């Protein structure tokens, strides 16, 4: 007998309570069984944070049939393995169940108790395989993203700071909108500045300061999304991130790059958001107030998604967060510089707004050993006072 601690969680859904009672008696020695009478109660049982390893549904139920219920369950509990139990089937029914409900197994009534237990154990093993793959993918993606952004923070602290500012503004916009695959949009914002590593230092300095670029320099900047795309595309499951960055210089009216004829809402959501964020941050860099920056964006509204521009315009200016002075030895990842870091002679080493990373701490420690050194203490805001943190990564089913 399986111990209570180790018993997998199983959800049984049927419109006949006596059938559910019989199944529970057969299975309770090996599984932690929960039952639901009807599809509506079955969906209600799928609570966040309380996953079932297997969901078993009868096919013929009033209102919503088993295939339709399992299709809805696949969205609410994507890692759960799904089983259809039916006494009335045909080739058409089987095809509908497999295609619509994403069914892993189909069992015909009456089901022998041992066959039922064997099938459920196979389903539990499938669930655990999917979960293990998801966790591995999540760790791989998180590590890849962190490695790239940490390198950016060292090679171009200003570009990393720009991505950090854009990420914080993006969070306030996204909180006001219905967004599918928010993880991809957030990662696109976070990784959008990777192409800056290809710029000559003088062009990067002009871009960071908001200075006017000549035609050749502007051409280099226009190619930054393509450079970022090449850096990101080898990472698995990053297609929506790549799509967003590739079209991030397109206007909502179809202008800009790439010249592919795509206009308006057909442009990827993340690309539309990036166009707004990049232009907004450029205006702030030029010294405009947040209100004046939004005003100038509205004067050129044809380039921007109207809903996103409205969400940006309705975002209140953030309250000033508390700051404190710390030594380099007291820096922690996630802190944000509230004032520029300067050398002993007063030269700016790192701009204000830069998020502290492990790499930046190491860089400052190295700088502090040089003759000119680093002027301490540094003025920072704590991690808890900063808007949205790093984007989460997709699950295997996300």
- pLDDT mean over 269-279: 95
Question: In CATH, what class is 9-132?
Answer: alpha beta
Q: How many CA atoms lie within 13 A of 1 on its CB side?
A: 8
Planar angle of CA 62, 67, 69, nearest 5 degrees: 65
From 212-221, 278-287, 353-362, the region with the lowest mean pLDDT: 353-362
Please report the DSSP string for 226-270 in residue order.
Answer: HHHHHHHTTSTT-HHHHHHHHTTT--TTS-SSS-S---GGGS-HH
Residue 380's pLDDT band, with cuts at 50, 70 and 90, is very high
Q: 75 burial class (0-12, 13-18, 19+ CB within 10 angstroms)?
A: exposed
Give dist(CA 275, CA 262) in Å, integer: 15
Q: Which runs of consecutive H residues, i.e. helices, occur in the chain? A: 17-27, 39-44, 66-76, 91-101, 113-155, 157-174, 182-191, 201-209, 215-222, 224-232, 239-246, 269-285, 290-299, 306-313, 358-368
Give dist(CA 198, CA 227) in Å, integer: 7
- The DSSP secondary-structure symbol of 48 reads T
Looking at the chain, the whole-number percentage of residues with pLDDT higher than 90 is: 31
* Cα–Cα nearest to 247, from 312, 303, 313, 182: 303
Residue 115's pLDDT band, with cuts at 50, 70 and 90, is confident
- CATH for 156-318 (1.10.3210.10, 3.70.10.10, 3.10.20.90, 3.90.420.10): 1.10.3210.10
In tens, the pLDDT along 192-219 reads 999 988 899 899 888 887 788 899 999 9
Name the pTM for this structure. Answer: 0.61
Extended beta strands in 301-347, E state = 324-326, 336-337, 341-342
Give dist(CA 217, CA 198) in Å, integer: 12
| Structure-model confidence comparison of residues 232 and 394, the more confident one | 232
Give dist(CA 105, CA 46) in Å, integer: 20
- Domains in the chain: boundaries: 9-132, 156-318, 320-391
Give dist(CA 14, CA 36) in Å, integer: 7
Name 380's bridge partners: 324, 337
* Cα–Cα nearest to 248, from 208, 218, 277: 277
- Cis bond upstream, residue 392 (ω within 30): no
Residue 84's pLDDT band, with cuts at 50, 70 and 90, is confident
- Cis bond upstream, residue 110 (ω within 30): yes
CA distances, 382 to each of 324, 326, 342 (Å): 8, 11, 20
Give dist(CA 355, CA 190) in Å, integer: 12
In tens, the pLDDT along 86-112 reads 776 565 666 666 665 568 888 877 777
Phi-psi region of 96 (alpha: psi -120 to 50; beta: other; left: phi over 0): alpha
Distance from the Cα of residue 202 to its chain's centroid: 33
């Amino acid at each position: 007998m399986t111990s209570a601690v180790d018993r997998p969680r199983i959800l049984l859904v049927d419109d006949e309570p006596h059938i559910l009672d019989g199944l529970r008696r057969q299975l309770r020695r090996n599984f932690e069984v929960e039952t639901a009478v009807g599809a509506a109660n079955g969906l209600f049982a799928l609570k966040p944070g309380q996953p079932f390893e297997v969901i078993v549904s009868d096919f013929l139920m009033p209102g919503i049939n088993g295939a339709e219920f399992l299709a809805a369950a696949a969205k609410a509990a994507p890692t759960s393995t799904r089983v259809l139990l039916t006494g009335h089937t045909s080739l058409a029914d089987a095809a509908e169940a497999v295609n619509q409900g994403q069914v892993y197994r189909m069992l015909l009534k009456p089901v022998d108790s041992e066959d039922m237990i064997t099938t459920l154990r196979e389903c539990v093993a499938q669930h655990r395989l999917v979960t293990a793959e998801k966790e591995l993918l999540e760790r791989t993606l998180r590590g890849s993203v962190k490695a790239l952004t940490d390198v950016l923070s060292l090679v171009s602290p200003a570009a990393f700071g720009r991505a950090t500012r854009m990420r914080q503004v993006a969070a306030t916009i996204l909180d006001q909108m219905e967004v599918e695959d928010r993880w991809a949009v957030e990662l696109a914002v976070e990784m959008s500045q990777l192409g800056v590593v290809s710029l000559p230092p003088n062009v990067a300095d002009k871009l960071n300061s908001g200075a006017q670029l000549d035609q050749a320099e502007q051409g280099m900047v226009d190619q930054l999304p393509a450079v970022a795309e090449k850096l990101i595309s080898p990472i698995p499951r990053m297609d929506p991130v790549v799509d967003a960055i590739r079209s991030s210089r397109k206007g909502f009216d179809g202008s800009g790059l790439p010249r592919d004829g795509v206009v308006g809402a057909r442009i990827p959501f993340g690309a539309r958001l990036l166009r707004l964020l990049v232009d907004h941050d450029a205006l702030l860099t030029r010294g405009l107030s947040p209100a004046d920056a939004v005003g100038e964006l509205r004067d050129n509204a044809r380039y921007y998604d109207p809903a996103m521009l409205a969400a940006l315009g309705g975002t209140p200016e953030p309250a000033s967060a508390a700051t404190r002075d710390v030594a380099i030895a007291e820096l922690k990842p996630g802190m944000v510089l509230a004032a520029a870091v300067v050398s002993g002679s007063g030269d700016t080493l790192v701009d204000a707004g830069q998020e502290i990373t492990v790499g930046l701490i190491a860089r400052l420690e190295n700088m502090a050993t040089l003759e000119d050194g680093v002027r301490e203490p540094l003025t920072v805001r704590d991690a808890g006072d900063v808007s949205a943190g790093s984007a989460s990564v997709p699950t295997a089913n996300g």
